[in-house]
Amino acid sequence: MTGSLAGLVAANVLFIVVGAELLPLLRIARTRAQMRARLALSYIVGLAAVGVLAAHLALVHVPVGFVELVVLVVVLAWPAWRRWRALPSGPRVPVRFGIVGTICFVAALTLLGHAARAFEVRPLVEWDGWAIWGMKARALYDFGGVQHTVFTSAPYGPLQHPLWLPAVESVGFRAMGAYDGTLIHLQLALLAIGFAAALWALLAERVPAALAGVTVLAIVAADSVLRQLAGNLADIPLAFLVALGAVALAAWVRDGDATLLPLAALFLGAATLTKPEGMLFAAAAIVAALVAGGGARLRGTLFSALAVALILLPWRIYVAANGLKNPEYDLGDALRPSYLADRSDRFRPALAGVWHQVWSSGWGLLVPFALVALAAALLAGRARVAAFAVVWGVLSFFGIVLIFWISVVPVELTLKWAAYRTVASLVLGAAALAPLLAGEAWLSAGDEAQAAFAARLRRLRASRPSPRTQ
């Protein structure tokens, strides 16, 4: 069957409207100036929120389609309008623009626009793309929820994978009026565009425009990003959500801007509903915020952690109630020293395999860029963001290694099948954090230059003879 392109586009327009309504309601924007500066977040906020809602409602067999999206927009309209009317004007939010940054950002959007045209006609041919994610999305579209054995019977593929991506795609199918495994690729391309716009919006408030633009372009231009995304796999959507959540939480640690906490909770919560590894990356980000933020950021970080846990909770209840097990590994085994010792021969291959994939040429220069930015922040003495990046990166890396260590699948096979995809969240998250790190060094250099200039000016004034002595 062929779906309606107009229906899919209309649904995505409604995602933008929902996101714009949530900006004031979730207190992501607390002034009208901030609202204008953060409108670029609307699409990804709306998509993440609708995906979470649709995934939760699927557990109780309530489908979400175009009509339900319209109802959601109408329900949110009045409280969002009232909240917006109550917002103060507020000071101007310093969103930075520059020639280099703007050129890079426009280039990134142009690249994604060409990708969208290719995605629109690309058939769904990858095994995991249709056998796992595509099948669950179609089952949600056909049956309206998880009552079918697709979600509880092992022959239908991994049961432990949560429902955020299938739920988003099922909303698209209902808006299109048919299951269309080809046209739904456009939804993935639009997700990439939304990610680029959101990352730009988050970074442009805090770092030079050139850093923000170069980062967005470098991420979307990396070969592995669009190539993996085109296969209808959940790893790149997960990486987008993790990267945005990590940036929001790191910026909160740096600036203490409480408007970033709902963003961090929403994106990291959606990540936990995208793949099981989402819990690893979200937990690593929260631990990193606790370590780097200290007591000054404790309350807000715990608030975000609680919100992420509440977003994940319905899925975990469903998993427990239906006795769903991960056939590849059990995280409880990671706490058993005897189990780890018995499988110690897997540690070195897992470590080497994950390390190799992190440095794969498919990611371009994203990893070196992140490491250079981290070194610059450390040399500048900017400890908070650097500590966040180090703790999150180390925990995420060794968490991935641990998963391959405790897996029951032969290590050579699981590394070959999954390592190149699993590291996506680590690589993209590190690259997205890099501008904050480099920006810290930039600010430090600027402060030192200003201090040196002021000292020189004072010396010049002191060396001039006063009029009375002449």
Tens of pLDDT, residue by residue over 33-46, are 999 999 999 999 99
Of the two residues 336 and 397, the one the predictor is more confident about is: 397
Of the two residues 10 and 159, the one the predictor is more confident about is: 10
How confident is the model over 306-329, as pLDDT tens digits? Answer: 999 999 999 999 998 988 888 888
Question: Are the C-beta atoms of residues 213 and 102 closer than 8 Å to each other?
Answer: yes
Sequence-ordered strand ranges (E) for 24-182: none
Q: How much is the pLDDT for 2?
A: 72
Question: Are the C-beta atoms of residues 204 and 95 closer than 8 Å to each other?
Answer: yes
With 50 as the cut, is the pLDDT of residue 452 above it? no
| pLDDT-derived band at 183, boundaries 50, 70, 90 | very high
| pLDDT-derived band at 209, boundaries 50, 70, 90 | confident
3-state class of 367 per DSSP?
Answer: helix
152-165: buried (b, 16+ CB within 10 Å) or exposed (e) per residue? eeeebbbbebbbbb
Give the span between the Cα atoms of 126 and 192, in whole angstroms. Answer: 19
Residues composing the chain: 470
The mean pLDDT of 422-448, rounded to a whole number, is 81
Token code pair at residue 408: 């029951």
How confident is the model over 248-288, as pLDDT tens digits? Answer: 999 999 999 999 999 999 999 999 999 999 999 999 999 99
How confident is the model over 228-243, as pLDDT tens digits? Answer: 999 999 999 999 999 9
What global pTM score does this model have? 0.93
Q: What is the DSSP string of 236-304?
A: HHHHHHHHHHHHHHHHHHHH--TTHHHHHHHHHHHHHTT-THHHHHHHHHHHHHHHHHGGGGHHHHHHH
Give the span between the Cα atoms of 145 and 133, in whole angstroms. Answer: 14
The CA-CA-CA angle for residues 128, 129, 133, to 5°, reads 90
Q: How much is the pLDDT for 465?
A: 58
How confident is the model over 58-107, as pLDDT tens digits? Answer: 999 999 999 999 999 999 999 999 999 999 987 777 776 788 888 999 99
